[in-house]
Amino acid sequence: DYFDDAPELEMHLAKNPKNKHLLAMVQEISSLCDIHYIRQKEPLGLGDAVLRAEKHICDEPFAVLLGDDIIKNDTPCTRQLIDTYNRYRCSVLAVEEVSDAMVSSYGIIKGKPLEDALYLLEDIVEKPTIEDAPSRMGAIGRYVFTPEIFDCLHHTNRGVGGEIQLTDAIRLLNARQNIYAYEFSGRRYDTGDRMGYLEAIIDMALEQDDLRGELLEYMRGIVGRLE
Confidence of residue 151 (pLDDT cuts 50, 70, 90): very high
> Does residue 83 carry a pLDDT above 80?
yes
Residue type, 124: I
Model pLDDT, residue 31: 86
- Helix boundaries (H) for 133-227: 149-154, 166-176, 194-206, 209-226
Domains and CATH numbers, the chain: 1-35 (no CATH), 45-190 (3.90.550.10)
Between 45 and 2, the higher pLDDT residue: 45
Residues 152-205: tens digit of each pLDDT: 999 999 887 788 999 999 999 999 999 999 999 999 999 998 999 999 999 999
> Does residue 217 carry a pLDDT above 80?
yes
In whole angstroms, what is the distance from residue 190 CA to residue 96 CA? 12
Residue whose C-alpha is closest to residue 106's, from 135, 92, 126: 126
Residues 107-130: tens digit of each pLDDT: 999 999 999 999 999 999 988 999
Model pLDDT, residue 203: 96
Q: From start to end of 78-186, where are the E strands?
A: 91-97, 107-115, 118-126, 137-145, 179-183
Residue type, 201: I
Confidence of residue 61 (pLDDT cuts 50, 70, 90): very high
What one-character-per-residue DSSP string does 51-72 give?
HTTHHHHTTS-EEEE-TTEEEE
Model pLDDT, residue 1: 81
> Does residue 59 carry a pLDDT above 80?
yes
In whole angstroms, what is the distance from residue 186 CA to residue 34 CA? 28
